[in-house]
Amino acid sequence: MNKEEAKAAILSLSKEIDQHNYHYYVESNPQISDYDFDMLLNRLQQLELEHPEFAYDYSPTKRVGGDITKKFESVVHRFPMLSLANTYSEEEIIDWETRLKKVTDEELNFVCELKYDGVAIGIRYENGIMTRAVTRGDGTQGEDITANVRTIRSIPLKLIGHFPDDFEIRGEIFMPLASFNALNAEREEIGEQLFANPRNTASGTLKMQDSKVVAERNLDSYLYGVYGDDLSFEGHLSAVENAGSWGFKVPTKEKNFIQRTTSIEGIMDFIHYWDKARHGLPFEIDGVVIKVDNYAQQRKLGFTAKSPRWAIAFKFKTERVETLLE
């Protein structure tokens, strides 16, 4: 195989593997067997070893990890990562909606979505390539954990479709319950202390120095906030749906992970549904987030010192059970 043939084969294999990754990790709809997938990946790895000059930074082979990070660099956010006001009270959700309607007499559309119990992340893409992934930190600056985020197979290294040249997408990285339970089973078998919960385990995993270990822990994500200059979307839901067409794993209306409503009754229906249905999810959520959909209305409503006025998080009460200590 000459150099041109090797270059073409590497590019073709990369695209094919990316597509299978998308089917498996984003759509949960694998098109080939694990064995066939591994054979494709092994073939790509071999070609990249033979022709390292054609190994792309966004190659699917980077997913397996291996980078060692001595120190996580501190990075200032281009757009501050503000926290949301929290409440456990439905009455406070009603009061919040009433306050918004006093500020504007325009009709408000609300977007309701799940509040994933994980680690907030902001990921920058330039010309369709992942360039940096940064934790929330203090909201003004966070830590660069790009090498570890590259190992998460539901997060694309290279985008498809028509996307902005330079933007950031934000969301949550979490540990699925199956991965958490399997990890604790392994630890129990070798006599190590068990991890307390999936959220803390995901957080600790993302700060590990060896990205190969991160890759083995099968973290997952949902991404749902698009930030950038000169974005063409009118509102939050439209941005989320477009991000899904670029290859991101985003919450969808089909799964009822995200819905738009014009009424407080619609908000309450979403809250009540997920307060019960959350126990059937393969990952943990700790509440529901409600946002004003329209970006122009968001700007008009503005911010407090700590959080946006146009969004609020309703948190579910932690369930308590009694156990008999013998």
Model confidence band, residue 326 (pLDDT cutoffs 50, 70, 90): low
Compute the distance between CA of residue 312 and CA of residue 301 in angstroms, rounded to an integer.
13
pLDDT 10s digits, 245-280: 999 999 999 999 999 999 999 999 999 999 999 999
Dihedral pair phi/psi, residue 114, rounded to 5°:
-75, 150
pLDDT 10s digits, 183-197: 999 999 999 999 999
pTM recorded for the entire structure: 0.90
Domain 3-62 has CATH 3.40.50.300: no
Active site residues: 115
Residues 6+ apart with CB under 8 A from 178: 282
Among 24-38, 49-63, 208-222, the range of highest mean pLDDT:
208-222
In the chain, what percentage of residues exceed pLDDT 70?
Answer: 98
What per-residue confidence (pLDDT) applies to 10? 93
The boundaries of every CATH 1.10.287.610 domain in the chain are: 3-62
> Tokens 């990946």 map to which residue?
41
For strand 141-143 and strand 74-76, is the pairing parallel, antiparallel, or unpaired? Answer: antiparallel
Compute the distance between CA of residue 184 and CA of residue 179 in angstroms, rounded to an integer.
9
Compute the distance between CA of residue 147 and CA of residue 73 in angstroms, rounded to an integer.
12
3-state helix, strand, coil in the chain (%, to 5): 40, 20, 40
- The whole-chain average pLDDT of the chain stands at 93
Predicted confidence (pLDDT) at residue 96 exceeds the cutoff of 70: yes
pLDDT 10s digits, 33-65: 988 998 999 999 999 999 999 988 888 888 877
List the end-to-end C-alpha distance of the chain, in Å, as a whole number: 70
What per-residue confidence (pLDDT) applies to 116? 97
The boundaries of every CATH 3.30.470.30 domain in the chain are: 84-315
- Assign domain 84-315 one CATH number from 3.40.718.10, 1.20.1260.10, 3.40.50.2300, 3.30.470.30: 3.30.470.30
